[in-house]
């Protein structure tokens, strides 16, 4: 059995006290164990005192070169990492690649971005402006790395991408990182951390990793620190309102729950590429990672007169996946189990909640037999589809607008095909990460962008012409914003250079125009 260790203040720690056992969720076999780490105050201070100066002594280009090197390093370990993701995460090979390749892609993308950031220790954030008409005094903002530590608290579903994605952005910005993976799937993150430490030639103090529960971590944060959290809305609220976080004004970014919707335009009918794309996307977004994705589709808005055709094809495709749900160690398996017994318990409770507002039309929540798994073993749930009435769809109190069932579960929501109704339904979830609008009707699309976008972090537009090139909405690329308003946490990760602002202080430099031009370069001289 693997023994997972924390890496704190430049040394490996086994932890103390009761051991927590991690399992293979398909077989329920124990596969790793860990204990609670101590000494978090010292670890944070080490990161601030040693890691911060070491990273800030490097130029953006040097930090970018580090990221590119690490992308290659992790890629070299890809096969072994995939095996851990299958074993500890219940991932199919495809799911595991999505997570691990996503991680290396963010490293490479931010490594590449470094080339645009110049040789100065800061980023010039805007153009110089006169502070008042006719004045020689100018003001211009710069971004500089904060002198604290970036604490990354991650969700269980993307142990690689979640950890490395945040790390790439923080390191390019110039902040040291303490990364805390979710405990239940920590084996993959722990191995990645080991590779970084043993083979990554990292600047001293730039990286720390807390394996196991957060303990008193938040009690030691300071005003230059940053917390980037990904997980449930409840934990997000606990972190945001933690007394130390509030008292010290710690900067917090929250990426939380999301009841993502897709809107099928009234013009999209069977027999078109756009219809096929919509079905393909829905199946991917329901079943990839067994539906345990923050960007997974939970609500499918269908024009009432298309309901039958969408239902028929979708149910058929989901049954295909259900017939190939089982132990992901078998390469024929298309969907694996949920990650833990607790996730399965929560998902079943969520299904009961959904049943109060909609009717289950496909999938058996109590199914016990899966491919290559002994009867009753493993934490499996086959794809489940609900359907609501048009009245329930419009009711913001309906459970499918409130409850995120973190599993392969979605609800068909019939609507009258107008943007007004679609906007009422999408916004009823009070803020989401992503929605897709499938349409070739330009007027519908323009109205939909205007009405839906304020409730979303990202809006994917899919039309017949781009159907073949289109990627499913749950793919998040390093250049795009990842986050969403309201319930989704109000955070914003990635988005290229914008993502770095979380880890940097924006400071206005105010002074004589020529002085600013000398100091900050060409953009100041323009004024
Ligand atoms: P979770 O239970 O909220 O846990 C998330 C992380 O917070 C874990 O590392 C957990 O550690 C830690 N944590 C728990 N209590 C804490 C506390 N009091 N102080 C500090 N840290 C604490 O969420 P999850 O079950 O891992 O993830 C599923 C949720 O994440 C879903 O709701 C999903 O929508 C959301 N998610 C959102 C995004 C996004 O980008 N918006 C991405 C992925 C997932 P332990 O594991 O040690 O308890």
The preferred substitution site among 35, 182, 481, 494 for testing ligand 1, maximizing ligand atoms within 8 Å of CB, is 182
Cβ burial of 199 (10 Å; 0-12, 13-18, 19+) is middle
* Catalytic pick among 255, 285, 382, 404: 255
For ligand 1, which residues put their CB under 6 angstroms from it?
153-158, 180, 182-184, 213-214, 218, 230-232, 235, 238-239, 255-258, 294, 404, 406, 433, 488-489
Residue-wise pLDDT for 251-284, tens only, equals: 999 999 999 999 999 999 999 999 999 999 999 9
Atom 31 (ligand 1): residue with closest C-alpha?
232
| Distance from Cα 428 to the centre of ligand 1, integer Å | 23
Q: Where are the alpha helices (DSSP H) in 231-368?
A: 233-240, 243-248, 273-287, 307-323, 341-354
| Distance from Cα 252 to the centre of ligand 1, integer Å | 14
Q: Are 299 and 259 in contact (CB under 8 A)?
A: yes
| Distance from Cα 266 to the centre of ligand 1, integer Å | 37
pLDDT tens across the length of the chain (527 residues) = 899 999 999 999 999 988 999 999 999 999 999 999 999 999 999 999 999 999 999 999 999 999 999 999 999 999 999 999 999 999 999 999 999 999 999 999 999 999 999 889 999 999 999 999 999 999 999 999 999 999 999 999 999 999 999 999 999 999 999 999 999 999 999 999 999 999 999 999 999 999 999 999 999 999 999 999 999 999 999 999 999 999 999 999 999 999 999 999 999 999 999 999 999 999 999 999 999 999 999 999 999 999 999 999 999 999 999 999 999 999 999 999 999 999 999 999 999 999 999 999 999 999 999 999 999 999 999 999 999 999 999 999 999 999 999 999 999 999 999 999 999 999 999 999 999 999 999 999 999 999 999 999 999 999 999 888 888 999 999 999 999 999 999 999 999 999 999 999 999 999 999 999 999 985 433 32
Element (H, E) at 299: strand 297-303
CA dihedral 43, 48, 49, 55 (to 10 degrees): 120
pLDDT at 219: 98
CA dihedral 206, 212, 215, 218 (to 10 degrees): 40
Number of continuous H segments (helices) and E segments (strands) in the chain = 18, 23
| Distance from Cα 232 to the centre of ligand 1, integer Å | 5
* Catalytic pick among 282, 285, 294, 493: 294
The architecture in CATH of the region 2-256+490-523 reads: 3-Layer(aba) Sandwich (3.40)
Q: Which two tokens stand for residue 237?
A: 């609220």
| Distance from Cα 229 to the centre of ligand 1, integer Å | 7
Closest by Cα among 273, 284, 220 to 248:
220
Residues in the chain: 527
| Distance from Cα 515 to the centre of ligand 1, integer Å | 47
- Domain 260-476 class, CATH top level: alpha beta
Let me know if 294 is a catalytic residue.
yes
Strands of 251-255's sheet in order across: 11-13, 6-8, 207-209, 177-180, 150-153, 226-230, 251-255
Q: What atom in ligand 1 is closest to the CA of residue 488?
A: 41
DSSP secondary structure string for all residues of 193-242: HHHHHHHS-PPTTSEEE--S--TTGGGG--TT-EEEEES-HHHHHHHHT-
Atom 22 (ligand 1): residue with closest C-alpha?
214
Residue whose tokens read 């006290």: 17
Atom 43 (ligand 1): residue with closest C-alpha?
294
Q: Where are the domains of the chain?
A: 2-256+490-523, 260-476
Global pTM reads 0.96
The preferred substitution site among 89, 151, 155 for testing ligand 1, maximizing ligand atoms within 8 Å of CB, is 155
From CA 330, how far away is CA 334, in angstroms rounded? Answer: 9
Q: What atom in ligand 1 is closest to the CA of residue 406?
A: 31
Helix/strand/coil percentages in the chain, nearest 5? 45, 20, 35
Let me know if 201 is a catalytic residue.
no
């Amino acid at each position: 059995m693997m023994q997972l260790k924390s890496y704190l203040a430049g040394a490996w720690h086994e932890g103390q006290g009761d051991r927590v056992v991690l399992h293979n969720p398909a077989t329920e076999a124990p596969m790793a164990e860990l204990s609670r780490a101590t000494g978090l105050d010292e670890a944070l201070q080490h990161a601030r005192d040693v890691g911060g100066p070491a990273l800030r002594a490097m130029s953006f280009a040097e930090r970018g070169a580090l990221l590119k090197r690490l992308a290659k390093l992790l890629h070299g370990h890809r096969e072994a990492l995939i095996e851990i993701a299958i074993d500890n995460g219940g991932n199919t090979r495809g799911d595991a690649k999505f997570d691990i390749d996503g991680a290396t892609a963010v490293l490479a993308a931010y490594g590449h971005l470094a080339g645009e950031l110049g040789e100065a220790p800061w980023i010039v954030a805007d153009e110089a402006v006169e502070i008042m008409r006719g004045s020689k005094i100018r003001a211009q903002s710069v971004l500089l790395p904060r002198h604290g530590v970036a604490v990354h608290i991650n969700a269980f579903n993307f142990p690689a991408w979640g950890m490395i994605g945040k790390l790439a952005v923080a390191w390019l910005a110039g902040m040291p990182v303490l990364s805390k993976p979710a405990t239940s799937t920590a084996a993959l993150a722990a191995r990645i951390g080991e590779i970084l430490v043993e083979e990554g030639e990292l600047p001293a103090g730039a990286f720390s990793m807390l394996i196991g529960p957060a303990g008193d971590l938040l009690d030691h944060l300071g005003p230059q620190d940053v917390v980037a959290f990904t997980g449930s809305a409840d934990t997000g609220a606990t972190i945001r309102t933690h007394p130390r976080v509030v008292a010290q004004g710690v900067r917090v970014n929250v990426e939380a729950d999301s009841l993502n919707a897709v809107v099928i335009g009234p013009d999209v009918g069977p027999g078109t590429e756009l219809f096929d794309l919509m079905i393909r996307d829905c199946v991917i977004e329901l079943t990839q990672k067994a539906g345990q994705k923050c960007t997974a589709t939970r609500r499918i808005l269908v024009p009432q007169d298309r309901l039958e055709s969408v239902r028929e094809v979708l149910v058929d495709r989901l049954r295909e996946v259900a017939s190939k749900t089982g132990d992901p160690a078998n390469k024929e398996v298309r969907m694996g189990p949920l990650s833990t017994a607790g996730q399965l318990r929560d998902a079943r409770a969520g299904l009961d909640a959904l049943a109060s507002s909609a009717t289950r039309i496909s999938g058996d929540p109590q199914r016990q037999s899966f491919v290559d798994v002994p009867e009753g073993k493993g934490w499996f749930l086959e794809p489940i589809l609900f359907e609501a009435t048009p009245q329930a769809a419009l009711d913001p109190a309906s459970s499918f607008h409130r409850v995120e069932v973190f599993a392969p579960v979605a609800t068909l929501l019939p609507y009258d095909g107008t943007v007004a109704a679609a906007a009422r339904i999408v916004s009823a979830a009070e803020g989401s990460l992503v929605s897709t609008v499938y349409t070739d009707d330009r007027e519908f699309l323009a109205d939909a962008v205007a009405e839906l976008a304020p409730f979303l972090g990202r809006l994917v537009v899919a039309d017949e012409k781009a159907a073949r090139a289109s990627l499913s909405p749950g793919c998040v690329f390093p250049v795009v914003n990842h986050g969403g308003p309201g319930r989704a946490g109000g955070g914003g990760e990635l988005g290229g250079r914008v993502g770095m602002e979380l880890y940097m202080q924006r400071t206005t430099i105010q002074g004589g125009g020529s002085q600013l031009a000398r100091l900050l370069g060409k953009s100041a001289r323009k004024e």
